[in-house]
Amino acid sequence: MVKDSKKIWYKAARTIVKAGQLPMVVNDTLLELLQLIMTEEQADFIAIFKKPSLSINEIREKTTLSDKVLNQTLNELMDNGIVVGVPSKRTGIMVYRLLGPFPGLFEMQFMRGELGEKQKKLAQLFNKMFKEMSKGTQRNYDHIVAQFKNAPPITRVVPVEQEIEDVPVDKILPYEEASKIVNKYEDIALVHCYCRHEKDLLEEPCKVTNERLNCFLLGKSAQFAIEHKFGNPISKEEAIKIINKASDEGLVHKAFHIHLKPELDEEAICNCCKCCCGIFSLFWQGIAPYHCYTSYLPRVNDDMCIGCGTCVEKCPMEAIELEEAIAVVNENRCIGCGVCVHHCPEGAMELERTGNREVFVPPPRIKTT
């Protein structure tokens, strides 16, 4: 029996969307993107992922492939950044996770820093897909934003370390300093900043930093990245130097947790700018709210503030305004990153620990044409 090619690709696209975190329609852009990164046989195979993660034993039950062909298929999908496979912490059995479009496929396609025509085309397709998503959110703004309120935050913002003191240990957020997060792990992989690399491929280079190798995968995610050549091993000391440089350049540290649960281990740290970061872009393009965990707020010393506007310029969330030449922080928009505090030339700001809080900032309303 010959399978219908269109049905195979449509089903694969739906399966991948269901594996992801963002509401998304299956359209020609997504289908073209998937056809660039996998074969039709692979598209047919991934339909077995009725849930995003399957153990090797569950996969064997769902396919008639021999072990040799199955292992080859899974390895090709991992090498192509479509599936991530790591051993279960509890049982040691391999578990394979199908990636959604974003976060997921996006990061893996640009993580190696490749510059070929395929990568340029992928950058254009992702860019087109995000523009289409923006129009979709804006047309159905109230309904979609309400849906996002039921979804968990994607990231946890880790403040600039030099600006925090005497950090207590929370049950939900074990470490708030980037250096302590890094020091937990023996395996650290340094990878290209996928967001800046996509912008480079679109000829829209970053306005904040020239650094591209400054994102990290940790633990099992690092082992996977190194084994499948998405990144290279790096020492804890080298990683901390890169994090400190990122702080000085005004980048925001973000920790990504397994299953988006902050009580579980971190699997990545990114150092993000407003102009390139995919999560900031989702917000500023009017696609999705900015939704994160954080534990800090900046406080302004009115007597020391001279109204220079450095904090206004540096804030990635545009959460600071000058009122009568004094910086005023909108606490509902602030993500507690500490960039403003770190860069205040007068030392007129300090970070105050609030304890864990969830920030949800609805995306801006944008005129659609």
The ranges assigned to domains in the chain are 5-141, 142-361
> Which tokens hold the place of 220?
């099992």
Residues 6+ apart with CB under 8 A from 192: 110, 111, 112, 113, 212, 213, 215, 231
Neighbours of 169 (CB within 10 A): 8
Alpha-carbon distance of 366 to 286, in angstroms, equals: 6
pTM confidence score? 0.91
Q: In the CATH hierarchy, which top-level class contains the domain 142-361?
A: alpha beta
Task: Give residue-wise pLDDT tens across range 288-330.
Answer: 999 999 999 999 999 999 999 999 999 999 999 999 999 999 9
> What CATH number does domain 5-141 carry, 1.10.10.10, 2.60.40.1930, 2.60.40.10, 3.40.50.880?
1.10.10.10
Which of 11-15, 93-97, 134-138, 160-164 has the weakest average pLDDT?
160-164
Contact status, residue 234 vs residue 190, Cβ threshold 8 Å: yes
Across the range 155-160, mean pLDDT stands at 87
Contact between 215 and 194 (Cβ < 8 Å): yes
Which tens digits make up the pLDDT trace of 214-259? 999 999 999 999 999 999 999 999 999 999 999 999 999 999 888 7
How many CA atoms, within 13 angstroms, populate the side-chain half-sphere of residue 172? 11
Distance, in Å, from the CA atom of 133 to the CA atom of 77, rounded to the nearest integer, reads 26
**59-74 pLDDT tens trace:** 999 999 999 999 999 9
Mean pLDDT across 34-63? 96
CA-CA distance, 127 to 121, in Å (whole number)? 10
Mean pLDDT for 66-87 is: 97
The pLDDT of residue 168 is above 50: no
